[in-house]
Every structure is written in C-alpha cells, then in structure tokens.
Amino acid sequence: MINKDVNVLDIFTPCQIKIALTNKLLKELLHFGRQDLQNEVIALGSGKKYDNVWSMDKFTPITNVVKDAKYEKLVNTLRLHPATDYFPNPPEFLNFLKTTSHYDGDESKPDFVVIFHTHPHGRAIPSGTDIAHANTEGSGYDAVYIIFSPRFNEISFNYHDNTFNGFKTAKSEIIL
Amino acid sequence: MTKELLIHIKEVSSAGHDEWDIDPKEAVDFLNKKCSNGKWLFIDGEFISPEEICLDDLVEASDIVLTNELVGGQN
C-alpha cells in the first residue's frame, strides 16, 4: 500500500526496530511534507515503544527557524546552511518533549518515537549533517528518523540509537 | 543557620534524565561545557544561547533544563 503513495528506500543495514503507523497518518505526514517545497519541514512523532515495535500515533509540526535572525549566531556556530538545513524552533521543541515520557520518565505519557524532516531538493537519504549530528555526543535522539523527499517522492525510515553506531534501516509497517 | 543556595538543573537525554544541584559559582561553567557538547539550554522555557548564560538568570530561574540538540539538513 505504501508503494502506491511513495517509494521506500532501504539504505542501511536492517535493524530490529519496526515503526508502525496508519496509512491515514502516513498520508497526513506526506501531505505536511509537501507543504513547503523550498525549505525543510520538521515534525516530531509520538506513540509507544513496545520492545522492538514502535507505534507512531500522532505527529506535531515544528517550525524550522534556521533562517530566523534570532538564531543566526547559533546556526553559524553549528555550521548549518539556512538554504538547506533545519533548526527546530527550540520552545516548540521543548513543549513537545514535555508531552512525552522522554522528558520525565512518566510512562503514562506517549514516547518520543519519530523525527520527521524533508529534503525538498535531495534524495530521502540521511545527509552528512543528519549523520554528523545524530552521531555526536549530546546531540540527536534514540528515534526513527523519517526522511521524505517530495521531489523524488521517496521516503526512508532510519533508526538511530543515539550512540556512535550510525543509522540502520528500520522496518516500516503501514496499518490499513 | 543559612540555607546553601544551589542551582537545580535537569538534563533530558535518550538515556533518561539526570538532575543536579550545583553551587552557583560552578553552574555557569557547567552549563557552558554542556552547551559546547551539543546540549540546548532552556531557562523557564526560554531557549538560551551559550553566550547568554549569566548567574543572575540562573539564580532567579525556577526551571533549568538541558536537552539534546536536534538539527539536520540535506547536505
């Protein structure tokens, strides 16, 4: 079913993590990802981690402020490129974290399971910037990084365990 | 008897969360080191760049949180 909407790329060594989401939610995510064909868009997904099977039940759009003058100095320090990179609005990012178990270990809250962003001009492959920051101590998250390329109409599901092991390809299960 | 003033800091990461109570004299250095290693600092919900960290704000703050940074790109 997913192949009717978008091509799925397998880039890395497969891992045991499976991300499950409904076809409706996937369509909404793709629609959101097509809303800006010039700049990267970002969303964070919450759901539940059941051992190796993670469900994504909801996504929260986060504003990309990489071009915002308020963050210019930090964007430069991080050597990000405003034309091609993303920098999530920090207060929106913190507010999202607070709604998840990731923030305080409260298991009654949903888990932080997905980092979604687009590559409007490039392939749906983790970039050097994606890899470098995910592999850096203190940076990145134990999450499935979903990358969508509206231009090439392709998507990839890439798991990172927030260590130095790099990305692996997560299995994806689309629930009809 | 006076109560020692300590700065309470919470750090959220994939490994769970840690909390510290730190002497004010050490808190600015502590946060600067964390921020130079990819952490983002929020004081009472407001994002603070490393060069903006000042002791007065830390003393007055009720909520000091460090999170992992999140950035990426297509190059």
Instruction: pLDDT tens for chain A, 176 residues: list them.
Output: 455 678 999 888 999 999 999 999 999 999 999 999 999 999 999 999 999 999 999 999 999 999 999 999 889 988 898 889 999 999 999 999 999 999 998 999 999 999 999 999 999 999 999 998 888 877 888 999 999 999 999 999 999 988 877 899 999 888 87
Determine the pLDDT at residue B1: 56
Tell whether B41 is covered by a domain.
Answer: yes
Number of domains composing chain B:
1
Give backbone dihedrals phi and psi of A28, rounded to 5 degrees, phi first: -65, -40
CB A39 within 8 A of CB A73: no
> CB A85 to CB B73 under 8 A?
yes
Structure tokens at A59: 């996504």
Determine the pLDDT at residue A1: 47
Q: Cα–Cα distance between A84 and A119 in angstroms, integer?
A: 8
Q: Cα–Cα distance between A132 and A130 in angstroms, integer?
A: 6
**Interface probe with B: pick from A70, A133, A146, most Cβ of B within 10 Å:** A133
Tell whether B15 is covered by a domain.
Answer: no
> CB B75 to CB A84 under 8 A?
yes
Nearest CA in chain A to B43: A91
Tell whether B53 is covered by a domain.
Answer: yes
Structure letter (DSSP) for residue B51: G
Determine the pLDDT at residue A67: 95
Structure tokens at A16: 């045991």
For the CA atoms of B35, B41, B47, B50, what is the dihedral angle to 10 degrees? -30
> CB A138 to CB B38 under 8 A?
yes
Q: What is the pLDDT of residues B53-68, one digit of tens each?
A: 999 999 999 999 999 9
Per DSSP, the three-state class of A156 is strand
Q: Cα–Cα distance between A155 and A139 in angstroms, integer?
A: 23
Domains in chain A, please, with CATH?
2-175 (3.40.140.10)
Nearest CA in chain A to B18: A104
Structure tokens at B28: 């600015």
Query: Would you call B49 an interface residue with chain A, using a CB distance cutoff of 8 Å?
Result: yes
Residues of A with a Cβ under 8 Å from any B Cβ are: 40, 73-74, 78, 80-81, 84-88, 90-91, 93-95, 97, 102-105, 115, 117, 119-122, 126-130, 133-134, 136-142, 145, 161-162
Tell whether B20 is covered by a domain.
Answer: no
> CB A140 to CB B75 under 8 A?
no
- Band of the pLDDT at B73, cuts 50, 70, 90? confident
Q: Cα–Cα distance between B13 and A98 in angstroms, integer?
A: 12
| Partners of A175 in the β-ladder | A22
